Chains A and B, each alone.
Chain A
Amino acid sequence: MTGLASFYREKEAYLLGIGFVVFLLAIWECVPLLITLPRGYALFFTTPSRIAVTFYRLLVEGKIQEHFYVSVAAFLSGLGIAIAVGLPFGIIMGRSRTLDALSDPYVTALNATPRLVWLPLFILWFGIGIWSKVMIVFVGAVFPLLINTYAGVKNVDRVLVNVVRSFGANEWQVMKVVVLPNSLPYIIVGLRLAIGRAILGVVVGEFFGSSKGLGFMIASAASNYKVDVVFTGVAIFMGLSLILTLSVKKLENSLARWRPETTKTF
């Protein structure tokens, strides 16, 4: 039995974790078999298998694709603009103390406030089309990117800058050879946070004043008590979020090749 025992020891973390999720899903599935829910609650109840079936049905009937594309489009556009704005601003703010001081109150205030408060205003300005969603995604995603880029630029080791300068590098070369490589890990973390915020923006943006998109699908299904559809939508967002976050985490790890392992100091 040593083969099995050592296999278990190696993969223990995975087995326990995934096992637990499977276990919960199984219990969830079996609840209607074990208890009869009162009428009021039964309306809200569904099981994993029913959700899966609904998912499949929606796919086959082609009802879900359009919503999906709309949401993805808003997500990518908003995130793209956030990267295009956040990174340069983060670099500029990191390098210029004056600009940093001038922008600091806005960045602090806007970052601390839940970006969703701007949604009514954006709907007022941009209507219920895709642009209000793009704007809310942008506003949510730009701050982690900006702030983390800023931190990466500010955090650069003075000694390294002097080293490169001692070889006669001009400002642009200092940027390229020291500041940007040093900032990259920070930027990637910012991207991971920005993705989470961006998805949030899509979801909530599409809840209100919208006629398309997965968020709209969820909201309208909820008001019609179509719980299966709601969970299908939630599951899709969950899946997207997980895939993207894990991919960025992998990117983070590959970049960390040159960083020493942070060992526990004793």
Chain B
Amino acid sequence: MKATVLVRPKAGILDPQGQAVESSLRHLGFAVGTARVGRVVELDVETDDAAEARSEIERMCEQLLANPLIESYDIELHATT
């Protein structure tokens, strides 16, 4: 089963990278309010059981993929055909 993990700076946490992107976009003439920059991790996990995959990936996030002090994460599972 394939999965996408989105790791984001938590709400309220200063995101200097997002601010730099935001200001560059404005310089290019785009009407941007705010930009926040996170990280995408694409995974291929062995199991085809969605619940099992989700709990496994949650453990990956807690241990390595995200730092819970500053980052939140979302897990999207994609059914393989």
Q: Do A and B associate with each other?
A: no
Seen from chain B, the residues whose Cβ lies within 8 Å of a Cβ on chain A are none
